[in-house]
Amino acid sequence: MNCYFLKTGETSLPPAHLIGFSHAYRPVNQLIKQTTLLIDLTKSEEQLLQDFHRTNRKQIRQATNYDFQIEVIDSPNLTDIREFQKFYNKFAKYTNTYKCGAFHIKTMELLMETNNLIITRIVSRNSNEILAYQVYVADQDTAFSLYSASHFRSKADAIDKRMLSIASRFLLWQSILYFKRRKNLVYDMGGLTENKNISSFKMEFGGEIKEVYSGYEATSTLGKLVLFGRTIKLRKG
């Protein structure tokens, strides 16, 4: 089983031989410490926007000059997931990152089945082209950015690149507002990585840096064997 957003004070977990934790907000044995950026959605819309870097505020204002359409898929199906996979893997090709494979699809399917998967995207009304995606894991309190993708790097034309830059920021802003209207309390930017460009981009949306913990904890002998086998498999590639 997998547990998202474990918070301080939560001690009761469903029985399982092996528990996967993603972005637990309190330390758990054997987990890896990371940092993430949390945006307080109880702030007013004006306060949230004011926390953004001035470049982001400028580009969000400029979005009104484009014929953008925001789409929120709050009950996605497998076709929606497959469409995202196709878009993301083109993005992965140009950014030299991992592709969205069978494991990732299965993860999203499981989240879909528990009504914890939300997809947002921005579309050009003129061309009907999807410009960018955001994929979220969400419960009642937290909205966690699982995937983010645009085809910015596949464009050679400077005007197209500028448009996609604006579209990506506008989508993220509108997604934040969607979760605020949904009464979520926290927007989790999905972790700060060693990639300085990605971390710098995320930091430009405000928020507070927090420590989170991810990984696996074995609760039985069988769980320990499964975890050992998984470790060996990863080492072998």
pLDDT digits (tens, 9 = 90+) for 203-236: 999 999 998 887 655 555 554 554 444 444 434 4
In a domain, 81, yes or no: yes
In a domain, 196, yes or no: no
In a domain, 17, yes or no: no
- What's the pLDDT score for residue 87? 95
- What's the pLDDT score for residue 233? 43
Range of the domain at 125: 43-184
In a domain, 219, yes or no: no
Give me the number of domains the chain comprises. 1
Distance CA 170, CA 168 (A): 5
Lowest mean pLDDT among 29-38, 72-81, 160-169: 29-38
In a domain, 227, yes or no: no
Helix (H, G, I), strand (E, B) or coil at 96: coil
Residue 190 has pLDDT above 70, yes or no: yes
pLDDT digits (tens, 9 = 90+) for 113-161: 999 999 999 999 999 999 999 999 999 999 999 999 998 776 778 898 9
User: Left, alpha or beta for 30 (phi > 0: left; psi -120 to 50: alpha)?
Assistant: left
> CB of 56 within 8 A of CB of 37?
no
Lowest mean pLDDT among 5-14, 93-102, 129-138: 5-14
Q: How far is CA 144 from the centre of its chain?
A: 5
Residue 120's CATH number? 3.40.630.30
Q: How much is the pTM?
A: 0.84
Compute CA distances 218 → 38, 132, 170, 222, whole Å: 28, 38, 41, 8
